């Protein structure tokens, strides 16, 4: 089963790429509804590096445990008809909780400059899930991904190192 999203965000591709690798930015996407905490260390690293595995604890509003997840990071670059596309992939697995009924968790996020407007980014998001609970979890994950897309759009301008000056 798949969830596919494609939308434009208001930041350049470098800022979007940094945010994809930032555990803090990712945790901010899900907050305040879902809290994401590191399992082992007391703080997240500043950046997830390709080849790194990280365990996270998820909780609803920081109060109700929702399970643990392994995040397994890889990166790649491809080229489409408009140029370079950078892809961040989490091929980890839900370890405990409601999502642990899934045998496949393949989450890929691709970013590329908007053709003709390099100050904005085309964001593509694909989640593939399989397993005994996939049919039951798909509607919940679909709704979560719609909400998550709204959060990405809202937070993207804050990802730039040099945000645009306010209009006067």
pLDDT at 82 over 90: no
| pLDDT at residue number 53 | 87
Mean pLDDT of 10-16: 97
Do the Cβ atoms of 111 and 80 come closer than 8 Å?
Answer: no
Domain ranges of the chain: 2-159
pLDDT at 122 over 90: yes
Q: Which of 34-39's residues contact partners 24+ apart within 8 Å by CB, and which partners?
A: 34/58, 34/59, 34/60, 34/61, 34/66, 35/59, 35/60, 35/61, 35/62, 39/68
Mean pLDDT of 73-99: 94
pLDDT at 162 over 70: no
Query: Which residues are within 8 A (CB) of 51 and not within 5 positions of it... i.e. 6 or more apart?
Result: 73, 74
What is the percent of the chain where pLDDT is above 70?
95
| pLDDT at residue number 116 | 93
Nearest Cα neighbor of 30 from 107, 112, 114, 96 is: 107
Q: What is the pLDDT of residues 44-56, one digit of tens each?
A: 888 888 998 888 9
Q: What is the pLDDT of residues 23-32, one digit of tens each?
A: 989 889 888 8
pLDDT at 9 over 60: yes
Question: Where is pLDDT greater, at 113 or 167?
Answer: 113
78: confidence class by pLDDT, cuts 50, 70, 90: very high
Domain 2-159 has what CATH class? Answer: alpha beta
DSSP secondary structure letters along 87-105? EEEE--EE-SSGGGG-SEE
């Amino acid at each position: 089963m798949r969830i596919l999203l494609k939308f434009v965000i208001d930041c350049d591709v470098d800022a979007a790429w940094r945010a994809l690798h930032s555990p803090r930015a990712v945790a901010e996407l899900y907050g305040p509804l879902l809290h994401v905490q590191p399992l082992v260390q007391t703080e997240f690293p500043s950046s997830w590096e390709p080849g790194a595995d990280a365990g996270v604890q998820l909780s609803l509003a920081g109060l109700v445990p929702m399970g643990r997840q392994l995040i397994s990071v890889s990166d790649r670059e491809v080229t489409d008809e408009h140029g370079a596309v950078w892809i961040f992939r989490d091929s980890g697995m839900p370890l405990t909780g409601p999502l642990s009924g899934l045998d496949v968790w393949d989450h890929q996020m691709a970013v590329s400059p908007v053709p003709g407007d390099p100050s904005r980014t085309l964001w593509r998001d694909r989640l593939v899930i399989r397993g005994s609970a996939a049919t039951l979890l798909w509607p919940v994950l679909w709704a979560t991904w719609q909400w998550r897309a709204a959060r990405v759009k809202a937070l993207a301008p804050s990802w730039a190192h040099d945000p645009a000056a306010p209009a006067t």
